[in-house]
Amino acid sequence: MDRRTFCFGTGAFLIGLENLVLGDPLGKFNIEKPPTNKHLTNSISRDGEILTIYFLTNSWMLFKNDRKDLWNFFKIHKDKNFIVEGYADNRGSYEDNIKLGYERATSIEHYLKGFEAKGKIDITSYGESKPLGEGNDFKTLQKNRRVLIIANENPIHRAFNLLKADYYLVDASSSMIENGKWDTVTKYKYPNSSHVYIFNSLGLREVKDKISSYLPEGGTPLWKSTYELLDIAENGKSITLLSDGQDNESNGVNPDMILTRAKEKKINLNTLAVKTGQDTENLLANISNQTGGKSYSIR
């Protein structure tokens, strides 16, 4: 059976979600408690800034206890921004698990909006790519079916913290000036041992002083610049690439060439897609998946 067809009635649940949330944050519908042997107890981090909600197999349904936990977390952080990260266990295809992670993150986002959250809500999906444990035993699968709701952290800084690397390749095209993206990447504290490069129509350049001394301009030679950095980087190292748009200046260099070069040099290529559009987001995620890297997207 295709895992996408087995959803515990989730689709029907979501149809009525609007009425369930608005004006009644804990819901008037009597949604049953989850089976105790299949659903882990939700948890909150020691500093109170991260709530983890667990899910049943191939489901993004929130039960009554989940909504209560989310509501209590929201009351504490109601004026803050939120990052919502969706995850899945390793059963099914990589692509399906990315989609399932987004379904789970979107269900949380819908409730936060229903609670009338004042801050910004950014959602992403890791799918199966950041498991809390390896293997297919019952308890490991339970732990990996989850969503993290993070209060008051910048999503780009969050992604960089999760995708630490030896080299950073940062889009410096003109669109990066919008919505504070460039200001965010200039304020990030890159590891002292790392090498930071930027790219735009002026080419690939290593940042020798402060990244804030550069200004975004020009187009996005995404694939060309990535290929050039792969040539420069040492074998066996890692690269984290951030871009906010689709390639428009690579003159014949394509993602397949990047995959080949990264595999030749045994380089793990992490990717961070910031509102790039679905096609580029998918291409970047595929590159990460096939090179042993991790992907993160901000929609």
Query: Quick one: pLDDT band at residue 248, thresholds 50, 70, 90?
Result: very high
* Claim to verify: residue 143 and residue 267 sit in the same structural domain: no
CATH number at residue 238: 3.40.50.410
Mean pLDDT of all residues in 183-209:
96
Residues 39 and 85 grouped into a single domain: yes
| 288 and 162 in a common domain | yes
Residue 37 CB burial class (10 angstroms; 0-12, 13-18, ≥19):
exposed
What is the H or E stretch that residue 246 is in? none
Of 119, 153, 187, the one marking the end of a domain is 153
State yes or no: pLDDT of 18 exceeds 60: no
Pair 103, 136: CB distance under 8 Å: no
Average pLDDT over residues 32-45: 78
Q: 197 and 141 share a domain?
A: no
Q: How many domains does the chain have?
A: 2
With a cut of 60, say whether residue 15 has pLDDT above it.
no
Contact 125, 86 (CB under 8 A): yes
How many angstroms from the chain centroid is the CA of residue 122? 9
Between 9-13, 181-185, 216-220, the lowest mean confidence (pLDDT) is in 9-13
Let me know whether 102 and 187 are in one domain.
no
Q: What is the pLDDT of residue 6?
A: 34
pLDDT reading at 28 higher than 50: no
Confidence of residue 3 (pLDDT cuts 50, 70, 90): very low
Same domain, residue pair 127 and 41 = yes
What is the share, in percent, of the chain residues with pLDDT greater than 90?
Answer: 73
Residue environment code for 84-121, b if the CB has 16+ CB neighbours within 10 A, otherwise e:
bbbbbbbbbebebbbbbbbbbbbbbbbbbebbebeeeb
My answer on whether 24 and 144 are in the same domain is yes
What are residue 54's phi and psi, to 5 degrees?
A: -100, 155
The residue that leads in pLDDT, 19 or 185, is 185
- 293 and 191, same structural domain? yes
Domain that holds residue 80: 3-153
Same-domain status, 26 and 96: yes
Q: Do 120 and 176 reside in the same domain of the chain?
A: no
Last residue of a domain, one of 111, 132, 153: 153
Query: What angle (nearest 5°) sits at the alpha carbon of residue 66, between those of residues 64 and 71?
Result: 95
Query: Is the same domain home to 22 and 149?
Result: yes
pLDDT tier, 32 (very low <50, low <70, confident <90, very high otherwise): low
Domain boundary among 87, 120, 153: 153
pLDDT of residue 1: 39
Mark whether 13 and 128 lie in a shared domain.
yes
Indicate which CATH number applies to the domain containing 22: 3.30.1330.60
**What pLDDT does residue 37 have?**
65
pLDDT at 137: 85
- Weakest-pLDDT range from 33-37, 135-139, 199-203, 228-232: 33-37
